[in-house]
Structure 1
């Protein structure tokens, strides 16, 4: 009897192992990690020597998986895009699987992409997952003769536990690899004077922006609506993309003489 009970309990235990699920915030990562670094290598190699760049900005793809898949299909039908910048908020709740689903969708692009961190990406263990899947929350790369500085500006989610925006990083990037670029684009999830930006330092932030060689414009996401704002009356535009629910993206073209952009529906 005791032997039969032992066998029964063993069977129940072994069969139950297959039913154990993992916590949604456990940061168990499967598949590709350090995505941004891998794609930055491709961007810099593909764009080396170029004097004209054409790239896409989009963002806030959380919840809108079908729309994001259609975005990938739309970009793949084109042959004139150098790379894509995802402005953040891949996840809605910072759940690990959200990042992995979005990564796998974006990995379907025929061109390299980088992904910034958004405020929703910081929820729960989201920031930890973002770092594991995509890399550092502040990073930069050079495409042609243009430096792209990508920043974490989601101050509200950090409660002053670390510097957001990171002015030390911004200052270093003004001169880092200075012999390799002549122009600059600053990308962020939340621009100054939106709800998660630390508006106490908005003017200081913009002062750093103005120090970059050949500053062209800034890109952002977060508000879910396309806007083009000159916030500080100095001619520097903060250009915000729609969320994926609106099935649109922005195409920027930087030439030796100027830049221009268009809103594209798909």
Structure 2
């Protein structure tokens, strides 16, 4: 009789909680965030009245929960920041709980933030979790006359298929647009990494080089700050340090000129 009651309780739980999952690899629960990037971009607006674009680039927040608290407190103390970009590896294992923990802390920022996907975010069912919580893996937005192109460069996670990064999509995003003077790219894996599809490096760099007004490409992944240029390219590539190293980049675009500085916290 006792076993029958337990079975009945289990069945009722399943059918009455159809929006919940019970699995280490679940992609949602009753407290799940949804479409954070889109919501924050709506909040951000287009910056049409803003002649200075001031933003922060950080990355690799995985396993850095205490540092993330210190991070948002530091960012909130800096005046006139427009938004924050997290350059991938929000998580270590691509799990819902990790993404929720980080989102809960980053939601304490007083300015909007968006993320790009990292290679660790693609493990397990991380791709599905990320898409539901944050949105598309390739997207762009315009702010203050600058187009920010956020995209997936985690080639190894796709077995170097030749489709990641998506060069045709990038080229389409880089087409001239009314009201856009400059372009900035943000992704996780930099083109000097073994995790980036080497067959695509030349076309990737050419897409940026051939775009008038292209300013810079920001990345994460290596956990160390680095500036570099690819062969026969004038485009600067910059890797931001990891959250765990308590450092981020504060970038500023004024009159089509970009500058940035490393900030410790």
CA deviation string 1:123-149 (max 9, x = no partner): 111111111111110010011010000
CA deviation string 1:183-211 (max 9, x = no partner): 01011101102021101110111111123
Offset of residue 230 of structure 1: 1.5
Q: Distance in 1 between matches of 2:134 and 2:105?
A: 14
Map of 1:20-39 to 2, 5 A cutoff? 22-29=22-29, 30-39=31-40
Larger radius of gyration: 1
Partner of 2:260: 261
Q: Distance in 2 between matches of 1:211 and 1:127?
A: 31
User: Cα gap change, 1:162/1:126 in structure 2, threshold over 3 Å: closer, same or farther?
Assistant: farther
CA deviation string 1:132-189 (max 9, x = no partner): 111110010011010000110001001256720111211211227x002110101110
Q: Distance in 2 between matches of 1:156 and 1:149?
A: 21
Partner of 2:75: 75
Q: Distance in 1 between matches of 2:145 and 2:219?
A: 21
Partner of 1:60: 60
Do the aligned partners of 2:50 and 2:144 also contact (CA within 8 Å) in 1? yes
CA deviation string 1:93-127 (max 9, x = no partner): 11121111111111111000110000000111111
Offset of residue 14 of structure 1: 6.4
Partner of 2:3: 9
Offset of residue 247 of structure 1: 0.4
The answer for unaligned runs of 5 or more in structure 1 is 1-5
Q: Distance in 1 between matches of 2:96 and 2:27?
A: 6
Do the aligned partners of 2:59 and 2:89 also contact (CA within 8 Å) in 1? yes
Partner of 2:16: none
The answer for unaligned runs of 5 or more in structure 2 is 14-19
Q: Which runs of 4+ in 1 moved over 6 A?
A: 14-18
Do the aligned partners of 2:21 and 2:28 also contact (CA within 8 Å) in 1? no
Do the aligned partners of 1:153 and 1:197 also contact (CA within 8 Å) in 2? yes
Do the aligned partners of 1:44 and 1:144 also contact (CA within 8 Å) in 2? no
Map of 1:190-209 to 2, 5 A cutoff? 190-209=189-208
CA deviation string 1:25-66 (max 9, x = no partner): 121243321111111122234x22322111000000000111
